[in-house]
Structure formats: C-alpha cells, structure tokens
C-alpha cells in the first residue's frame, strides 16, 4: 500500500486545489514561478478538501519576502478553537535570486504578482505565481476575437474531414 499522493495522471504528481481563470484574461503573463506556502495544520486539512479560492489573491513583496494576500481558505470543520483566519497574509517560499528578480520586476510600472494555481506536489502545498502586466481593454477584445476565430477554424477543419 503506497502512502503517496493520489494522482490522475501517471507522470503528473500535481493535485490541483484552486485555479485563477481570470489571471490570463486580465494580465499578460511574463514569467511564472513555483513557490511553497507557509500554512497552519487546519489550513492544510482544509486545502486537502479543496476548500480554497485564489480569485482575489495577489502577491506582495514586503521586507525582502514575498507574501500572498487575499487568498481565502475556508475554516476546517473539525478545527474547533485551533482554526485559522480564512483570509490572511501567507508567506511564500522562494529562492533568494527569485525574490530579487521579482522585487526588480514589480518596481517596474504595471507589473504585479498573480497566483495562477494552487496545488499539492509531492504532499506539499505549492502556488504557481506569475509576473503579469495588466492588459488594456483593447487587448482583451483582441484576445477574445482571436480565440473565437481559432475555435471557428478548428470547427471548420473538423467538419471538413
């Protein structure tokens, strides 16, 4: 009997918990980083049940450390008095060089840290953190038009066979 994480794909050991679908809609993704998260015990148990939301979360560089603000983790049902606050700042674990690169990038105009996905990898909670630059309204419209055109082209190719 194996005690490892349950996976759906044999080669993929990521167990997804939460995604942020608006991130790619609202931001141009420049680069992504994988970061660990400092959590309490009841937060981990609640995450394993899939009760988290990163839709309103954002990354923040404070005192040479990266923090994830605005992430909501529902309190654990059996947590009683040891339960956690649902929305609080959570420290992200990154290498020093990655933090320095993010500090330099976020000081540029319009760049921000956006969480893309929250997942478990080899039993540890991780977040895919992206450096993004905000899209203008016309960029969003162009992306929407391009997706519709691609979908129609794929549909035409499929029916043409």
Domain with 86 in it: what CATH number?
Answer: 2.40.280.10
Q: Is residue 27 part of a domain?
A: yes
Q: Is residue 30 part of a domain?
A: yes
Report yes or no: 22 and 124 within 8 Å, Cβ to Cβ: no
Q: Is residue 4 part of a domain?
A: no
Q: Is residue 8 part of a domain?
A: no
Report yes or no: 32 and 20 within 8 Å, Cβ to Cβ: no
Q: Report how far apart, in Å, the C-alpha atoms of 157 and of each of 120, 147, 149, 153, 160 are.
A: 38, 15, 12, 6, 5
pLDDT at residue 4, as a whole number: 44
Q: Kindly give the parts of the chain with pLDDT less than 70.
A: 1-12, 110, 161
Q: Specify the 3-state DSSP secondary structure of 88.
A: coil
pLDDT at residue 3, as a whole number: 47
Q: Is residue 18 part of a domain?
A: yes
Q: Is residue 3 part of a domain?
A: no
pLDDT at residue 12, as a whole number: 65
pLDDT at residue 1, as a whole number: 40
pLDDT at residue 67, as a whole number: 92
Q: Report how far apart, in Å, the C-alpha atoms of 27 and of each of 2, 116, 149 are.
A: 40, 11, 21
Q: What number of CA atoms fall less than 13 Å from residue 121's CA on the CB side? A: 12
Q: Which domain holds residue 77?
A: 14-134
Alpha carbon distance, N-terminus to C-terminus of the chain: 47
pLDDT at residue 22, as a whole number: 83
pLDDT at residue 161, as a whole number: 62
Q: Is residue 115 part of a domain?
A: yes
Contacts of 15 (CB under 8 A, 6+ apart): 5, 6, 7, 119, 120, 121
Q: Is the pTM of this model over 0.85?
A: no
Closest by Cα among 54, 26, 32 to 119: 54
pLDDT tens string 12-23: 688 888 898 888
Q: Specify the 3-state DSSP secondary structure of 26.
A: helix
pLDDT at residue 115, as a whole number: 93
How many structural domains compose the chain?
1
Phi-psi region of 48 (alpha: psi -120 to 50; beta: other; left: phi over 0): alpha
Q: Is residue 107 part of a domain?
A: yes
């Amino acid at each position: 009997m194996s005690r490892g994480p349950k996976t759906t794909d044999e080669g993929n050991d990521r167990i997804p918990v939460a995604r942020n679908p608006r991130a790619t809609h609202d931001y141009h993704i420049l680069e992504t980083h994988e970061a660990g998260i400092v959590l309490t015990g009841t937060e981990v148990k609640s995450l394993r049940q899939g009760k988290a939301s990163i839709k309103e979360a954002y990354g923040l560089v404070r005192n040479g450390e990266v923090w994830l603000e605005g992430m909501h983790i529902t309190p654990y049902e059996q947590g009683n008095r040891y339960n956690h606050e649902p929305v609080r700042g959570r420290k992200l674990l990154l290498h020093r060089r990655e933090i320095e690169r993010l500090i330099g990038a976020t000081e540029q105009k319009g760049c921000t840290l956006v969480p893309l996905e929250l997942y478990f990898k080899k039993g540890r909670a991780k977040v895919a953190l992206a450096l993004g630059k905000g899209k203008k309204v016309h960029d969003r419209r162009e992306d929407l038009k391009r997706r519709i055109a691609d979908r129609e082209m794929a549909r035409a190719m499929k029916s043409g066979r």
